[in-house]
Amino acid sequence: MADAQVQTPAGEIRAALEIPTGTGPWPGVVVLHDAIGFGDDIRGIARRIADAGFLALAPDLYSRGGALRCTRTVFRDLIRREGRTVDDIVAAREHLAARPDCNGKVAVAGFCLGGGFALIVSPKGFDAAAPFYPSLPSSFEKVVDGACPIVASFGSRDPINIGGEKKLRAALDARGIEHDLETYDGAGHGFANKLPGEQFTRIVGFGYDEQATEQAWSRVFAFFGTHLN
């Protein structure tokens, strides 16, 4: 893992960069953290993506002051579907695409809050998008016009995304956008994130699920392999 600095219209933000072993160029993936923020979990996910043969860049969307100071701005941008956070994510895509060890193809993967942003930026130059249990205050209908191909993963016990797969599928089918959507039985919100408080969060419909995580990543990497190579 190497720390990176990404130039954005509002100045530099920090990111974690994970590089595959071997010789590139490789396709890239921008990795977007959940509402809790940038930490060991998202760094581990970026490493998993690199081990599968993709350059992985995880920007810290709370770079300008940490979660306490930045949460309000980031959630405002999520609601408005535009703003500094969206600009930061697009800048991360451009950063990856410009690297000599990138083949120019870049996807986006995001979790919870980051999953919502993955959908928002799916029409903004990305070659594929992989939202995991995307949290969006508005309907999917408002964000997927002109979207790239989408591979999305939901959990059946997710109290935030009730019927999420059905709703997203309807929006994508109506627009003829290629997609691979799956809901994992028994999995809750955050099933692919290893976060504190595991026992309690599983009770209330959150928490890590290893089986669902492995199955979801298998689909995502196959989908990326089709659209990024």
- The span from the CA of 80 to the CA of 19, in Å, is 33
What backbone phi and psi angles, to 5 degrees, belong to 41? -60, -50
For the chain, how many structural domains are there in total?
A: 1
What backbone phi and psi angles, to 5 degrees, belong to 129? -135, 140
Q: Which amino acid is at 28?
A: G
In tens, the pLDDT along 18-45 reads 999 998 899 999 999 998 888 899 999 9
pTM of the model: 0.94
Buried b (16+ CB within 10 A) or exposed e, 112-137: bbbbbbbbbbbebebbbbbbbbbbbe
CB atoms within 10 A of CB 151: 25
Identify the CA nearest to 179 among candidates 155, 214, 144: 144
For residue 73, what is the enclosing H or E element? helix 66-80
Say which residue the tokens 């405002």 belong to. Answer: 76
Question: What is the 3-state secondary structure of 74-106?
Answer: HHHHHHHCCCHHHHHHHHHHHHHHHCCCEEEEE
Longest CA pairwise span in the chain (Å): 46
In tens, the pLDDT along 178-209 reads 999 999 999 999 999 987 655 445 545 678 99
Residue 48's domain comprises 2-228
Say which residue the tokens 């099933």 belong to. Answer: 191
Mind listing the pLDDT tens digit of every residue in the chain (229 residues)?
468 899 999 899 999 999 999 988 999 999 999 988 888 999 999 999 999 999 999 999 998 866 666 788 899 999 999 999 999 999 999 999 999 999 999 999 999 999 999 999 999 999 999 999 998 877 898 899 999 999 999 999 999 999 999 999 999 999 999 999 999 999 999 999 987 655 445 545 678 999 999 999 999 999 999 999 8
- The span from the CA of 11 to the CA of 65, in Å, is 13
CATH of the domain at 42: 3.40.50.1820
Q: How far is CA 81 from CA 94, 124, 136, 144, 167, in A?
A: 19, 12, 9, 11, 18
